A and B are shown apart, each in its own frame.
Chain A
Amino acid sequence: MHPGAEVRVVPEGVEVSPPEEDTVAALRRELAELRQSEQRYRLLVEQQTELISRFAADDTITFVNDAFCRYFNKRREELVGQTWHPAALPEDLPFIRERLRILSPACPVVTIEIRNISATGEVRWVQFVNRGFFDGEERLLEVQGVGRDITERKQAELRIRLAEQFARTTIDSLTAAICVLEEDGTIITVNEAWRGFFRENPFVPNDGFVGGNYLTLSTLGHGVAAAEAAQFAAGLRGVMRGVRTTFRMEYACHSPTEERWFMVIATRFTVEGLFRVVVTHEDITAVKLAEDALRRYSRRLVEAEEEARKKLAMVLHDEIGPELTDLGIILALIRQNLPPEELEKLGDRFEDSGVLIENITRTVRGVMAELRPPVLDDYGLPAALRWQAELMGKRTGFRVELRVDEPFPRLTPDRETALFRISQEALTNSVKHAAARHATISLRCRNGLVQLVITDDGRGFAPSTTSFPRKKSTMGLTLMRERAEAFGGRFQLASEPGEGVTVTVELPLER
């Protein structure tokens, strides 16, 4: 109505004047506005990228927009007036029907995701939001469906699910027990191995499950030494505070029936401000046992070698040595008792025999010294080191300076042997591998420890590269370390390229 017009209620019989000019004009204006509105609306709908369709309660399609037609590759005339068939994969049809049946005034909106085959033959996903329109008696008049292609989203979801499943399966297949913590230490997820560990070890407090707090999980559980537990707690705190990204340590956690060793690694990561810590526990008992076995075998090897040397030296010393001496004496006797004319003839030959005996003795002595230096057994380590230095000087021109803190006590024979062998090996390496010309050996006894330090002036090496390049010298290093550690001692090798090599050995005097 034209604004300003009044509504008059005219009683019956009263004369009513015909509509005025402006009323008609007003009506015309309103009609025009309505048409404009409708046009805008229509444009809006047509411009939608969303697919819009409407169908009546009898499944007749009453409207489709351009996008809808384009998407399903059909012309409007083909669709409107036809029975509505969801353009979906056959297996999805029952599901769609079922969902639509839910439409009611109480539940007027139903969202359905359907799959269809596109023109190019690929499977596309479309999500339709279907709204039902009802009359006063709650009868369904019409359904309007607004659809959107969600193929990319669906594919992304699939990829994420695949990735998650892959991750979960992988993590569950790992032998390491893994848990993930939030900032405050709450456990948000664990893997199968973790659950398994807690199932099999009921003596560990039960805070090990999702929702519990790892920090209160009385630090690594029973069987772990307090020092190690404290060390781990400190390390973990460091990771959680961001002081370090990773912390790892080995610890022992023995069950009532067996010895076990573990390695724990805590690592932090952040994604867009979200902070997580991954804690893994790996059972390294097998590796540790293998290491121990290896160490035992090395020790046995060293002992066996020493035993063999001792035996050989003993045979030479106790059996061959004396017999050579006897031979010499007998020869001298024979010579003494020869008549002069025989002596004249044979004198030189007797002397030759003497020289032969001398040669043999020298050889035997040399072998014996290689096996077990008599000076070591008779006079101890400093004397043996002096003897060795002298020998090396004569043979190779290699100069050894010996500094002994006198008075130096006699040690147990096996300790003296071990230290002597270590110095032997070290000096051999200096000459053979390091092209050194000079070495210093210092020997002292202090605070119940005997300390041997050997430094050479050779070309040195970078210790981190000793893993594989020279197999022979690494075997020697292993045996040297073995000899020291057999007594609960320490073996240290320090070197830099061009800086020579320093070997430091410390042995406790008592076990």
Chain B
Amino acid sequence: MRIKILLVDDHAVIRDGLRMIIGSEADMVVAGEASDGRDALACLEELEPDVIVMDIAMPKLNGIEATRLIRQRAPAIKVVILSMHHTQEHLFQALRAGAQGYLLKESAGNEVVTAIRCVSTGKSYFGTGVEVPQEYLLAGDDLPPKSPLDTLSRREREILQHVVEGKTSLEISRLIGLSTKSVETYRSRLMLKLRINNIPTLVKFALNHGITTTD
């Protein structure tokens, strides 16, 4: 049974893009689209979606309010919120309204599929750049049960290698052809993924997992 998804966003480009991305997944289908919260509520019974991917800021009825109403009417439906804002306040409001997932819009394209899959199994999903609240960290909901290293992309593993070898961001940026800012973003990302917040621990982790220095 494919996961039925309802896309709700007032921005056509986003709806189209997400539809195409989700449509490529074999286990998912986009059951419908709406451009605001009110429309979304209206087509709930007709479409019977499993997961709703919804923008937080929309005219007429905003994402938070709509989430609250949807969860009241059909508690089985899971909601993934798309937002421009990464503040704790915004996140809390979404979670309090009953959302299970929170994605930043800039990573929507890359992570929407993972998010949908995650929440459809009953877990919470917090996208890249969103600070996971303490309670959820303990529950460990957001980590898929795989080796931590596997969660890293090839690029991230590449950068990890360089970091472990003791190279500075400047040196790494020259090697790869990226700005130091981008290198640092990768580094924070991979450290977030691995739940490590200092370099010595990172190095230890890397060595433990077979990533050795090449010199």
A: residues with CB less than 8 A from B are 317, 321-322, 324-326, 328-333, 336-337, 347-348, 351-352, 354-359, 361-362, 365, 374-375, 378-379, 383, 386-387, 390
Please state if A325 and B108 are interface contacts (CB–CB under 8 Å).
yes
The answer, among A321, A324, A332, A347, for a CB contact under 8 Å with B17, is: A332
Top 5 closest A-B pairs, CB basis? Answer: A332-B109, A329-B17, A325-B105, A329-B109, A361-B106
Give A361 to B108 CA distance when docked, in angstroms.
Answer: 13
Please state if A329 and B14 are interface contacts (CB–CB under 8 Å).
yes
Please state if B89 and A332 are interface contacts (CB–CB under 8 Å).
no
Q: Which of B107, B110, B153, B176 is most buried by chain A, counting CB atoms within 10 A of its CB? A: B110
Which DSSP category, helix, strand, loop or mixed, fits chain A's interface? helix
**B71 is an interface residue with CB less than 8 A from chain A:** no
The answer, among A321, A322, A355, A387, for a CB contact under 8 Å with B186, is: A355
Please state if B155 and A336 are interface contacts (CB–CB under 8 Å).
no
Sample of 25 A–B contacts (CB below 8 Å): A321-B84, A325-B14, A325-B105, A326-B14, A328-B105, A328-B106, A330-B17, A332-B108, A333-B20, A333-B109, A336-B20, A347-B155, A351-B156, A354-B107, A355-B182, A356-B182, A358-B185, A361-B104, A362-B129, A365-B84, A374-B85, A374-B90, A378-B85, A378-B89, A379-B89
The answer, among B14, B128, B156, for a CB contact under 8 Å with A358, is: B128
What chain B residues lie within 8 Å of A361 (beta carbons)? Answer: 104-106
In the complex, residue of chain A having the shortest beta-carbon distance to the beta carbon of B189: A355
B: residues with CB less than 8 A from A are 11, 13-14, 17-18, 20-21, 24, 84-90, 93, 104-110, 128-129, 153-156, 158, 176, 178-179, 181-182, 185-186, 189
Please state if A329 and B90 are interface contacts (CB–CB under 8 Å).
no
Give A356 to B110 CA distance when docked, in angstroms.
Answer: 13
What chain B residues lie within 8 Å of A321 (beta carbons)? Answer: 84, 105
Which DSSP category, helix, strand, loop or mixed, fits chain B's interface? helix
Q: A354-B110, A358-B107 are in contact. List 12 more A-B contacts (CB 8 A).
A: A325-B14, A325-B108, A328-B110, A330-B109, A336-B20, A347-B154, A359-B181, A362-B129, A365-B85, A374-B87, A375-B89, A379-B90
- Give the distance to chain A from B93, nearest Cβ to Cβ, in Å: 7
The answer, among B84, B87, B104, B128, for a CB contact under 8 Å with A317, is: B84
> Do A358 and B89 form a contact, CB below 8 Å, given A328-B109, A332-B109, A348-B158?
no
What chain A residues lie within 8 Å of B85 (beta carbons)? Answer: 365, 374-375, 378
What chain B residues lie within 8 Å of A332 (beta carbons)? Answer: 17, 21, 108-110
Q: Which of A330, A354, A374, A390 is most buried by chain B, counting CB atoms within 10 A of its CB? A: A354
> Do A324 and B106 form a contact, CB below 8 Å, given A336-B24, A358-B185, A379-B93?
yes
What chain B residues lie within 8 Å of A326 (beta carbons)? Answer: 11, 13-14, 17
What chain A residues lie within 8 Å of B179 (beta carbons)? Answer: 359
What chain B residues lie within 8 Å of A336 (beta carbons)? Answer: 20-21, 24
Please state if A352 and B182 are interface contacts (CB–CB under 8 Å).
yes
Please state if B87 and A375 are interface contacts (CB–CB under 8 Å).
yes
Give A321 to B57 CA distance when docked, in angstroms.
Answer: 12
What chain A residues lie within 8 Å of B90 (beta carbons)? Answer: 374-375, 378-379
Give A229 to B165 CA distance when docked, in angstroms.
Answer: 84
What chain B residues lie within 8 Å of A356 (beta carbons)? Answer: 182
- Give the distance to chain A from B18, nearest Cβ to Cβ, in Å: 7
What chain B residues lie within 8 Å of A325 (beta carbons)? Answer: 11, 14, 84, 105-106, 108
Give A390 to B158 CA distance when docked, in angstroms.
Answer: 33
Give A325 to B112 CA distance when docked, in angstroms.
Answer: 13
In the complex, residue of chain B having the shortest beta-carbon distance to the beta carbon of A386: B89
What chain B residues lie within 8 Å of A352 (beta carbons)? Answer: 155, 176, 178, 182
